[in-house]
A and B are shown apart, each in its own frame.
Chain A
């Protein structure tokens, strides 16, 4: 179900009407505030539609959203409207806006921002390339200077945390050279441990200096250049005020401080008639993107600048039972609960509870229960299965169950590392087969600093399965056995005859048997693939890697008989890989001191992905429209995409993941926020409070998005066999079972 539907007729509530009809002129701003699910976003879209219908020029409207998925929602919603002119409205995230403007106004700011070569074009880095550069800086420090030696953190995560620090500084708006001071002074543990902050600061400085020296712009630098150099620039300000007349802001509380600064500047007291109208929507109780820099507190101070305020309190869906459940649990956690709409019963919100010993039996139960729901008539897209984390085995178990029952499943798993995606892995193995001279080092084995990646038969089978249509795992293994003999590095031609007559006959017989088993269609496809790879390898003149990938796709993999033919989901993933490879190349080639030969770049890229250094945490934000199906997602993703369902499954209720934030020893989202005074200690008291607040926030958010009921599932032992008795489970037990006992 999309987050909000546009009523087909203009069936809006009175409050929504007020928002939609709010004056078009006069330079006034309206704040819409209230809990989730009360129709604020719908009102914004409708207002936008009306503005367009009334003849407002699309390019004069700026819609500011917290992340890409919101942008897509707006796009989709507008596409459904019959507004006369649809295209051209600027629907952006802060970063999206900054990126574009910095590109456009580069000459205006390049010099003052400190770039060594303002006369040259900027090079924008993707997350992978930023991590790659950070790795070039960090690796020698790790190895030779023993940096971060007291930490137990994997390399990919180490890099993303270091980059995250820079991002936070930019998004919050403080000087990145004060990172160390802020973190150290908040540290309440042993002073020895602050060394890691000094080291993290050092890495940040070196990275930034490198970027400035080479015109490289990562996320943090783009944000900083825009907020500190471009936005204050008089020329830009004149341009901006002339350009945009109407402002619409959704989920202000999910946005970052510098975005709030922008909104303040637009609508604040100094705006001097610079805009015609502004409507800002704020969800109370939101703030799920806190760890990505969102700041509900600065949002509140912005909202105070609005001329008018409209409270929207009535939920549009029948969420009162779920809200009552959330309130009960909140009280069981010792926190004050928000008032609940009348008629809500926590009891009635819990449709069923599962409590078993083993984790996997819990997952199976959820899958089967979900299938039963659909069988009984529920619409798959009305169901969401949520957990703190969605692991591979959870995904597999639920996907298999859904597949067996013929139920479509929509998986949202943003934070997976690139190399864990089997499609990407398969494609990379194909790439390795096309470049027999490339040696890849992955991981860190005991014997040396890295161990060589050896292509195993299982990998080749995966590659073949990824490429060829309708090839099951067993036939793929059979084929792989013959296609890549032990110790070889390139695929074999399986149709040519050996020159030696005696072996030729035996070989032919064996081959015939192979194709009997595997199928003649597969044979054709294999030969095409083999021939293409062999031709490519034979040219001896390697192409840039992204071009190689694109060509392989166009020439072979997307043609009939191959897996990417008429497979939009896979093609999208493939496209992402190509884009990532291209941006990597663009960012890295011609950089002094790094591998710049075309050959090396491709190998470097594959190595980057396969060794897990590129962990795609921000990359998650790729647009994804939901074709329909049961949703399987981590709870945070569900919330940050503002999805709504009739039925929610809360899995792994016992896991600490419900309360713990994804922890990173080198950064700290609370300390690195605008509201945190430098020098204030972060102690266990704050830790405790923040955990409980988070949990309460999540519960409230889930409840506001659940119009039917909740299935609770708990396993005594977690996936690794550890006892699970997290806060949520205890609250559930306290809130629900004691009541049972009293009733009994």
Chain B
């Protein structure tokens, strides 16, 4: 019987088995369910390896447990837990390293820049900048192929054509980005992809191959832009890191000595290439623990990851497999619903491929009594799946908003969220919440968190002033922003009238005189004697002037360094500083590719972030320190909700356009003016197929999924994968709820095809009814 306690914590049975790992180290796969305490388990395992001396005694080797995860917030969480455990054991925080895979790849490159072909000034462009560069590439390419490009636009009024062109522009860029990503995943440069295409002998009259050619052209151009700026994007990082590892066995051996144990989190989201990197690092000894939930893989259509890789890994004979299936998060009705979803899809979904590819058969089990986290009792739980659709989205969200507001009123100590399957429903939900009287407190988490926007707003006000430092209005506006946000110069408790009066003073004087006075003195000295100023004004102005003067002097620094300087002056909270760093590095990335940009252009970027029109690429909610607050309605997408939990969850617009039953339902990848055509999907699939058929086996085998039997068209195949992913998304949505769950749907005007209630939800509704009947008995 494995021991049940470690480091002062009572372990669940499966956790205890996992902690036995050091006794028989080797490749291990842990299949975890939502809410099963993955993070805690990993931290415990890492600490155990360190404390029990499994790293060996050679202090100079500096061996560490390597923990690899997906997001920065996870890095912080796990680090903090390990540190906590070690400190409890009176040990220094050494012997472990927690990193995202991208940072790990970056480190590998930095250690052997010669193998990677980069010099030490290489830097990464973030997703936002990647998109900008692809946009530029697409716009140039378009002008060179205008006739062909425009041939896809239907006839219509000028206004219509402009709208179509906009959409087609977006799709063109999407094709470029997708082909670029896939090519880099396959480690092929643009020329190599082209020759692959030639070898495959595609029918060039087919639209799919034309789109693929376009994608390759865009890839080539995009690569060029990055290369000239000596920048790498995230996919390059992974590619070059793998290259570096393959070239020098001694280098790999060294890294293996340094990291004798590798613990991988969110393994279901690892792309095959990323998996290869970790496999190299794990070496023949293979002390590699992969933890993941294949049923929560919701990023596969954005990346080359697919849960089937992890599932295949779990099946390997040399891999030990342990489950982590106890979860104390949700009440039994919710757990039952989630399990039923998996069961139904695996045995009863009409499509064979979907049955096999979507879920791993695995059940969530409640925790034992006496566990630290006991499941909410079943009679506190309510599940509502509405069979009848609302007539319109507006009706649906209005009802949901009212219901949520009422819930928040009735249970002020509970947390709740409204989850949207796609982003576009979000704004309608927000509007509906706004219209409920009295207006409930709402957190808009669609693009970013309030904190991110708050920080961005402050930085925007600073930047706006620095871009035109002679402008007294901007200076006064900056003053108010700082005062409102409680940043040194004032606090929200100060009367608004007082702030306005001070602003008037600031507006009345020239910034030059205030910040660089000819004679030393305070602002009061510059005013005519009779102007009334409140008592604290002198101090406040003094602080303000000194801060702003400092920033004016710094304004010739590179933008990221300027923002860091400002950040250090204004923010103390860790979360705020973290956001500042992210913003600074995102803008720094842009600056490198746009040497012409000055403060005015960066001001614009900051405004976009502050007004929620742009998100900072690749950030999760947790990265910016968000956590659910009781009594506040969180509005976000189902994707962003992963990893979080609320007492009550409302899922809206759950119709077949969001959760398709069959390929025909998944029409949203089509261009609405080109029915039946989905360029991005078709081009990507075409490349996948060609690669699978024509690349040498050892190059393709572990990078691509085994291709479907050829009865399916590429579009169909892609759509089936999409169907699977959306079902997993539904699973994620359901498992966010602790007690209460509501799933509704509606017809909407803009749907291009008639909507139906998804079969999966029908099945779940039937199940819920049965359970209710049983309980009533």
Interface residues, chain A, CB within 8 Å of chain B?
A: 149-154, 157, 161, 188-190, 193, 196, 332-334, 357-361, 364, 391-393, 396-397, 400, 422, 442-447, 451, 453-454, 456, 458, 462, 472-475, 477-478, 481, 517-519, 656, 660, 662-665, 668, 683-685, 687-688, 717, 719-723, 725, 727, 730, 733-734, 737-738, 740-741, 744
Contact = CB atoms under 8 A, between A and B. Distances in A.
Interface in B81-95: 90-92, 94
Pairs A-B, 6 closest by C-beta atoms: A334-B60, A189-B247, A446-B136, A393-B561, A684-B250, A684-B251
A23 to B, nearest CB: 48
28 contacts: A150-B117, A152-B227, A152-B231, A153-B230, A157-B230, A188-B247, A189-B247, A189-B248, A190-B243, A358-B568, A393-B565, A396-B554, A396-B561, A444-B225, A446-B140, A472-B512, A472-B552, A474-B469, A474-B511, A517-B513, A664-B120, A665-B114, A665-B117, A685-B250, A687-B251, A720-B585, A723-B75, A730-B94
A446 B568 contact: no
A463 to B, nearest CB: 12
Nearest to A717: B581
A517 B512 contact: yes
B420 interface: no
B114 A152 contact: no
Interface in B419-464: none
Interface in B75-123: 75, 90-92, 94, 97, 99, 103, 106, 110-115, 117-123
A713 B228 CA distance: 36
B470 A456 contact: no
Given A189-B114, A734-B62, A663 B469 contact: no
B114 A151 contact: no
A151 B118 contact: yes
Nearest to B247: A189
A683 B250 contact: yes
Contact of B92 (A190, A396, A518, A733): A733
Contacts of B469: 473-474, 477
A727 B243 CA distance: 24
Contacts of A393: 557-558, 561-562, 564-565
B557 A396 contact: yes
A734 B599 contact: no
Nearest to A360: B568
A68 to B, nearest CB: 25
Nearest to A395: B557
A523 to B, nearest CB: 14
A683 B564 CA distance: 39
A443 B595 CA distance: 7
Nearest to A359: B564
B561 A193 contact: no
B470 A684 contact: no
Contact of B588 (A664, A720, A723, A740): A720
A188 B596 CA distance: 41
B250 A481 contact: no
B227 A149 contact: yes
A196 B119 CA distance: 14
A519 B518 contact: yes
A63 B574 CA distance: 57
B91 A741 contact: yes
Given A392-B561, A683-B248, A664 B59 contact: no
Interface of B: 59-62, 75, 90-92, 94, 97, 99, 103, 106, 110-115, 117-123, 133, 136-137, 140, 221, 225-232, 236, 243, 246-248, 250-251, 253-254, 468-470, 510-513, 515-516, 518, 550, 552-558, 560-562, 564-565, 567-568, 574, 577, 581-582, 585, 588, 594-596, 598-599
B253 A684 contact: yes
Nearest to A422: B556
Given A400-B550, A734-B62, A189 B581 contact: no
B679 to A, nearest CB: 22
Contacts of A720: 123, 560, 585, 588
B119 A723 contact: no
B627 to A, nearest CB: 19
B585 A458 contact: no
A151 B223 CA distance: 12
Contacts of B62: 727, 730, 734
Given A474-B511, A720-B585, A360 B121 contact: no
Contacts of A161: 119
Secondary structure type dominating chain B contacts: helix
A392 B225 CA distance: 26
B254 A723 contact: no
Given A364-B568, A663-B120, A447 B136 contact: yes
A152 B585 contact: no
Given A152-B227, A188-B248, 5 more contacts: A392-B557, A474-B470, A734-B59, A737-B94, A738-B59
A190 B246 contact: yes
B134 to A, nearest CB: 10
B550 A733 contact: no
Contact of A660 (B120, B564, B568): B120
B231 A684 contact: no
B225 A446 contact: yes
A474 B512 contact: yes
**Most chain A beta-carbon neighbours within 10 Å: one of B103, B137, B221, B596:** B596
B92 A473 contact: no
A668 B115 CA distance: 12
Contacts of B513: 517
Nearest to A688: B254
B555 A473 contact: yes
B596 A443 contact: yes
A334 to B, nearest CB: 3
A444 B90 contact: no
Contacts of A445: 136, 594, 596
Contacts of B97: 723, 725
B110 A660 contact: yes
A663 B114 contact: yes
Nearest to A661: B120
A338 B227 CA distance: 45
B515 A152 contact: no
A248 to B, nearest CB: 37
A267 to B, nearest CB: 38
B122 A152 contact: yes
B112 A687 contact: yes
B599 A458 contact: yes
Given A688-B254, A721-B582, A725-B97, A152 B120 contact: no
Contact of B564 (A334, A360, A741): A360
A473 B565 contact: no
Contacts of B588: 720
B254 to A, nearest CB: 5
A357 B581 CA distance: 12
A284 B312 CA distance: 58
Contacts of A188: 247-248, 250
A153 B123 CA distance: 10
Nearest to B99: A723
A468 to B, nearest CB: 14
Contacts of A361: 568
A694 to B, nearest CB: 14
Contact of A517 (B468, B510, B596): B510
Contacts of A154: 119, 121, 229-230
Contacts of A719: 561, 564
B92 A738 contact: yes
A474 B516 contact: yes
A660 B119 CA distance: 11
Contact of A481 (B90, B243, B470, B556): B470
A733 B470 contact: no
B565 A396 contact: yes
A359 B581 CA distance: 10
B103 A723 contact: yes
Contact of B113 (A481, A665, A738): A665
A733 B93 CA distance: 9
Contacts of A733: 92, 94
